[in-house]
Amino acid sequence: MSFGRRLAAAVQRFGPLCAGIDPHPALLAEWGLTDDADGLARFCAAAVEALAGHVAAVKPQSAFFERHGSRGIAVLEETLAGLRDTGTLSVLDVKRGDIGSTMDGYADAYLGVGAPVAADAITVSPYLGFGSLEPALRAAEEADRGLFVLARTSNPEGASVQLASVDGTTVAQSIVDGAAGRNAGETLGSVGVVVGATHDHGLELGALNGAVLAPGLGAQGATARDVAERFAGLRGLVLPAASRSILGAGPAVSALRSAAETQRDELAAVLKPG
């Protein structure tokens, strides 16, 4: 089953929420954990226990695993493995983007059949040109995985590039259009885009026919109502992402799960299927 179809099924079953796993040093300290691979492993085990089988998707942030070296990557692999077969999909936030054989290597690592750090989907950067993503697009399609392509991010610095005009449209809109082209003819395509939920994005999303990963819910300021209003024209589905507003409830598994379910239910109350 394609990633798009699996994501639609997960959202229908669990509601529209992607819960982040961002084990940064301050949060490890808040949980009373050591800032090392052992603390990381305990953090992720609690998060997976709380979230797997209760939300549509979980998004580990690769940087917070990589900073612990090979032992941190091993914890990332264990975390991704712990999500498999739970009904909750994994979206690995790695933002990879390169050209040629280097992009082939990233595709082999995360997306290909038998990939060692396999996730259901990963985030990718198209700012070497949308065409540079072809190895990742091809590998994802062959393995029934997905991509979320950075389009209109919430950081202020992104605007100078993403809102630049090219051939009568913005760079961000051209990324959305590229993803829409890959999704043509699908019930819900497997190539989504990343669009921040914290500001008005100004994009035409009606033809996307895919998912929008929308970070910024909760601690970054976006509300469920903001998400509903900003993505009202989407043909597809929006997957709002929240991290700190959920993880800050830890370390108790029950408290983490309750925070996620509260966020999930608030979203479900205002979001309508695309």
59 given a catalytic annotation:
no
For 3-17+89-245+255-269, CATH gives 3.20.20.70
Cα 109 versus chain centre, distance? 17
- Of 133, 167, 161, 165, nearest to 148 by C-alpha is 133
Q: CA dist 23 to 52, 68, 204, Å?
A: 17, 11, 34
pTM exceeding the 0.85 threshold for the entire prediction: yes
> What pLDDT is recorded for position 273?
56
CA gap 106, 231 in Å, rounded: 31
Catalytic residue among 5, 95, 199, 235: 95
Q: Is 238 exposed, middle or buried (0-12, 13-18, 19+ CB in 10 A)?
A: buried
Helices (H), the chain: 3-14, 25-30, 37-51, 63-66, 69-83, 100-110, 134-143, 159-162, 171-183, 224-230, 244-247, 253-270
How does pLDDT run along the chain (274 residues), one tens digit per residue? 999 999 999 999 999 999 999 999 999 999 999 999 999 999 999 999 999 999 999 999 999 999 999 999 999 999 999 999 999 999 999 999 999 999 999 999 999 999 999 999 999 999 999 999 999 999 999 999 999 999 999 888 999 999 999 889 999 999 999 999 999 988 899 999 999 998 889 899 989 999 999 998 877 778 889 899 889 878 789 999 999 999 999 999 999 999 999 999 999 998 865 4
- pLDDT of res. 166: 86
The CA angle 174-180-181, to the nearest 5 degrees, is: 90
Residue 149, token pair as written in the block: 């392509």
